[in-house]
Structure 1
């Protein structure tokens, strides 16, 4: 799976006005499509706000620029608006653009706006979703012929990003008492057969129980098929939504490709549901391991365990570095060449630890709460977690795992 930034949460906080007595008005963003499917407009009704300021959208780029043609509409007149200045407008409005997929392959971990000839649109908040300073409760709706539909909550700035999917769905299904709206660029009816839905039911039910969480809204899924020539299969999780690539060709979708899609889907669903704060290496490696384990819980034995991928990557760049060092390189130095270790080495660490725990009649699932005892500034496993699992599996065995996966230093 390709790297990306995966911050996960499933609940929308209710923000109260400073008086504490009245809920602030819900801001409503409107997406208006045009005859050109690659172009659209976003707008916010702001008449009720009085004076306000717009701030920049969240961005994955260091050199992001504000949108062009940002307009303030007031008393029937339009004027140019700027960020971080006082405005009085009935409405603010700006253009957004979509990449047209057609037949081209696309890695969804890039998290850009997409349009498919199948008749759906993906709007991500990066660089496009301007914010109104001081406002926290908002939703976005599709506006067509003065009618609003498909309204979804907008993430707060400390929550996972908005992935807003609208248009033609492939299917809406109920899995583990949760509605999923599925979008795709190809006909993936085989993935929705009774047998496959039963697999997803078991997989998703396990992950929801593990996280002890459920989304309050329908979850939007984008399964984007790419040719086997695209080596990386990406994924990304947002608020009540996730995106995942899978391989397909003229012969359809192979069993191996289906299995890989369920693994990635499990990874992203773990991210979306498991809201507890964790260091980045733990968040990514646990999601990847529990994506694998969710398949086992569904009665599917993947062709390879996480150990296989760790061994295959052993000759790759930075392979001798431990996960603690990889965390520092990525978060402090922005050296993303170490990011893949979170998947390969990280998932293998949890796999081996879980195997040892299961030999003693326990499971890693039971020890997850102990991971939240660490100090906020620490990226290492908490002492309480280490003491508990070491006591069960043996101090020496755990120290060997720790040396192999966590504290190993690059060879000189």
Structure 2
């Protein structure tokens, strides 16, 4: 069994004027206590709200004692603090959990300190207080020399995306490598560079990114400097039961299984599927020039199906790929509830339905893709219609965009309505 905690990113956050600035101070004498400050935000005569975005996603806060001057910030509700009128600087500490290699589940999106390798992973959704708004912020890290973010700002500074997708940063004694893959430049940080190389993870990722970039090329308004990605490889012991991933604006975290030497192909296939799932989220966001509203069932199901479809393009053993696909793609099963009903439950706070977005959602998209391929004698597939699917908002009830449905109906006919009833419940 394995787990995910991914962020739905089917929108593109455009570059805005840089606004507030974060500074993270690191002390080698106390590596688990990072000091953070927020300055340079616009002045206001009214109280405002500072949010820790990860709490609304089910993540755990790592903030300690946020305050302005010497006054503690008031907590208005979980994950939200009051920024008093006239406050010019907010400070807090971040508890970076001390860990060893093989113990970090990237789905939890924690800020951690790797005590054996002496480097840190900073997670924005659990560690940085954010002001509402569309402006991009900047971040600097003092006290260490080597540091890596997804996108550089001014010298010695990194960009912090506006509302929406999170971001992750690595600093300390980093094992860093770089690669140009199609239109993207990629930086890799690994907790165990030798093991990552032995598993050929960078090469597998390059193949996956190359495939996805062909069907989801970056929007024309994204400059070359914006096409930069950060991949952080985090090993997790197989005894912990699974692997996860987390997609950010331009960075993402990907677990790979450690201690699975007797079944390397199976564990590597799992890693690649998770990685491709996360990569799909990012490239989908970069493929359109505006924010698109989509329900969780669609975003997660689509990303998971393309994680599996990308996996099928790899050189991994066919039997391992088939086993993994069979765990999710199950057209013989009749769903108990439609995806639209599951979406309503999810919005009402029922997180137990989330895994069904992967299995039932991925099966729906697989069946749509199958119809398109069969009825076109393999001349068309869902790949061809992705740009249209990602260009429009879904309906308020979570149904597919009308233009997308109109475009595929000539190939799918009445069979499409059968799928909509079976999987969506409409």
Q: TM-score, with normalisation over the residues of structure 2?
A: 0.78
Task: Tell me, yes or no, if the aligned pair for 1:56 and 1:127 is still in contact at 8 Å.
Answer: no
Runs of 5+ unmatched residues, structure 1: 16-22, 73-77
- Matches of 1:329 and 1:48, distance apart in 2: 38
Query: CA separation of 1:37/1:253 partners in 2, compared to 1, >3 Å: closer, same or farther?
Result: farther
- CA-atom RMSD, angstroms? 3.5
Moved more, 261-270 or 299-308: 299-308
Task: Tell me, yes or no, if the aligned pair for 1:169 and 1:182 is still in contact at 8 Å.
Answer: no
Task: Tell me, yes or no, if the aligned pair for 2:62 and 2:96 is still in contact at 8 Å.
Answer: no
What's 1:327 paired with?
343
Question: C-alpha displacement at 1:242, in angstroms?
Answer: 0.8
What's 2:302 paired with?
286
1:355 and 2:370 matched: yes
Q: TM-score, with normalisation over the residues of structure 1?
A: 0.81
Deviation sequence 1:274-322 (CA, Å, 0-9, x none)? 124322111101111111222333455423363442449969xxx5222
Task: Tell me, yes or no, if the aligned pair for 1:162 and 1:238 is still in contact at 8 Å.
Answer: yes
Pair member with larger Rg = 1
Give the total of aligned pairs.
Answer: 387
- Matches of 1:56 and 1:341, distance apart in 2: 33
Task: Tell me, yes or no, if the aligned pair for 1:175 and 1:204 is still in contact at 8 Å.
Answer: no
Matching of residues 6-405 of structure 1 within 5 Å: 6-8=7-9, 13-15=14-16, 26-34=19-27, 35-46=29-40, 55-61=49-55, 67-72=63-68, 79-80=70-71, 82=73, 83-89=82-88, 91-102=89-100, 105-117=103-115, 118-132=117-131, 136-144=135-143, 151-157=157-163, 159-177=164-182, 178-191=184-197, 197-213=202-218, 216=226, 218-249=228-259, 251=261, 254-275=264-285, 276-300=292-316, 301=318, 302-304=321-323, 306-311=325-330, 320-331=336-347, 333-359=348-374, 360=376, 361-371=379-389, 372-374=391-393, 376-395=395-414, 397-405=415-423
Question: C-alpha displacement at 1:142, in angstroms?
Answer: 1.1
Task: Tell me, yes or no, if the aligned pair for 1:54 and 1:130 is still in contact at 8 Å.
Answer: no
What's 2:77 paired with?
none
Question: C-alpha displacement at 1:94, in angstroms?
Answer: 1.7
Runs of 5+ unmatched residues, structure 2: 74-81, 148-154, 286-291
Moved more, 106-115 or 145-154: 145-154
Deviation sequence 1:228-275 (CA, Å, 0-9, x none)? 223332111112111122222074871221121111111101111212
Question: SS of 1:321's equivalent?
Answer: coil
Query: CA separation of 1:217/1:49 partners in 2, compared to 1, >3 Å: closer, same or farther?
Result: farther
Question: C-alpha displacement at 1:145, in angstroms?
Answer: 7.3
Question: C-alpha displacement at 1:104, in angstroms?
Answer: 6.0
